[in-house]
Amino acid sequence: EMQLLESGGGLQQPGGSLRLSCTASGFTFSNYAMSWVRQAPGKGLEWVSGISGSGGHTSYADSVKGRLIISRDNSKNTLSLQMNSLRAEDTAVYYCAKDETSSQTMMVFDFDLWGQGTEVTVSS
């Protein structure tokens, strides 16, 4: 069974840092692009960042460029999101999501698997 399990969320002060992780199982991790999608309290889904299966290509929403860094370790089936210079507006539940289309180089964003989420709160 394919699964994604996020961890690393918590309470952090504005300007601080957090590192989120997503551990994948049940599929060949390196064959699929992955993304982080967040959901602020009471709001809808917002794509944050994506990375190709090989890790060679990344993409970011304008709201997080320069502050958040996506990476992956295919030997450990792990996706990460390094969150720096945190702002109150980064407060959200963060989900990792898997592309349905198999590719090591392309990011398609046709999500077919989601994790259960990890909550990030940025507050003083």
Partner 1 sequence: QLVLTQPPSASASLGASVNLTCTLSSGHSNYAIAWHQQRPKRGPRYLMKLNSDGAHSRGDGIPHRFSGSGSGAERHLTISSLQSEDEADYYCQTWGTDIPWVFGGGTRLTVL
Q: Which residues of 69-87 are buried (b: 16+ CB within 10 A; e: fewer)?
A: bbebebeebbbbbebeebe
Q: Kindly state the smallest distance separating residue 88's Cβ from partner 1, in Å.
A: 21
Q: Which of 58, 77, 91, 108 binds partner 1 (CB under 8 A)?
A: 108
Q: Does 51 bind partner 1 (CB under 8 A)?
A: no
Residues 6+ apart with CB under 8 A from 118: 6, 7, 8, 9, 20, 93, 94
Binding mask 64-103 for partner 1 (x = CB under 8 A): -------------------------------x-x--x---
Interaction site with partner 1 (CB under 8 A): 2, 35, 37, 44-47, 50, 59, 61, 95, 97, 100, 107-117
